[in-house]
A and B are shown apart, each in its own frame.
Chain A
Amino acid sequence: GESVGLHLPTLSVQEGDNSIINCAYSNSASDYFIWYKQESGKGPQFIIDIRSNMDKRQGQRVTVLLNKTVKHLSLQIAATQPGDSAVYFCAESSGGYNKLIFGAGTRLAVHP
């Protein structure tokens, strides 16, 4: 498949382990944050979002943590599965419009 990014940081985990992907965002005025997953040859797929009035949000097997003090976002994936292998992007937005600023991405490699 096509390469999303040639020199992305890679997180390698064993199947069944928990994964934590980190992201530093740039704009202290950002009020909406999203995590996307992108598999080879496909467009980004929404995973979970969080607004700036929250510091934690949970979904199915995923949790997003937001630390506005240090402008840091993390995505936790519980019991990581081979199907979770992909590139993960954080994105930020401010001002109520759909103009997202994406991070560089992290490649997650899940080994059996």
Chain B
Amino acid sequence: KAGVTQTPRYLIKTRGQQVTLSCSPISGHRSVSWYQQTPGQGLQFLFEYFSETQRNKGNFPGRFSGRQFSNSRSEMNVSTLELGDSALYLCASSLAGRLNTGELFFGEGSRLTVL
């Protein structure tokens, strides 16, 4: 069974640009979450999607957005990039239903460097 796949694995952008990251969850998983990981702030929750609906959101500015498609694949977008957006962006999928937490399976992340 294939794991969570994130693309691209590495990317470099400059300030002011925008970026789109992609995540393909494990087959059958309908919940997809996104996390930002930095050495200073650790792992921080960005948002979670379930059945194409954002059902939870962390404390990030509106420059961070996401969406989920009918096949459960998800994308997140960061607009007007800042130096502080440099981080490892992790996607996690879960078999959890509407009311349950469940084991999160993480991808290997997309490492974004903003210059």
Contact = CB atoms under 8 A, between A and B. Distances in A.
Contacts of A104: 42
Nearest to B57: A99
Interface in A68-101: 89, 91, 93, 96-101
Contacts of B35: 100, 102
Interface string B85-109: 0001010101010011111111111
Interface stretch (A10-18, A42-50, A56-64): A42-50
Interface string B48-68: 100000011010000000000
Nearest to B31: A98
B106 A97 contact: no
A98 B96 contact: yes
B86 to A, nearest CB: 12
Contacts of B99: 96
Give the interface centre of B35, B43, B92, B96 by most chain A CB atoms within 10 Å. Answer: B43
Given A2-B111, A42-B108, A44-B90, A96 B101 contact: yes
Interface residues of B, number: 31
A63 B31 CA distance: 27
A97 B69 CA distance: 19
Contacts of B44: 102
B84 interface: no
A3 B39 CA distance: 7
23 contacts: A3-B39, A5-B39, A5-B42, A41-B108, A43-B109, A44-B90, A46-B104, A46-B105, A89-B42, A96-B100, A97-B55, A97-B56, A98-B31, A98-B33, A98-B56, A98-B92, A98-B104, A99-B33, A99-B56, A100-B35, A100-B104, A102-B35, A102-B42
Closest 7 CB pairs of A and B: A43-B106, A102-B43, A99-B56, A6-B39, A44-B106, A32-B101, A43-B108
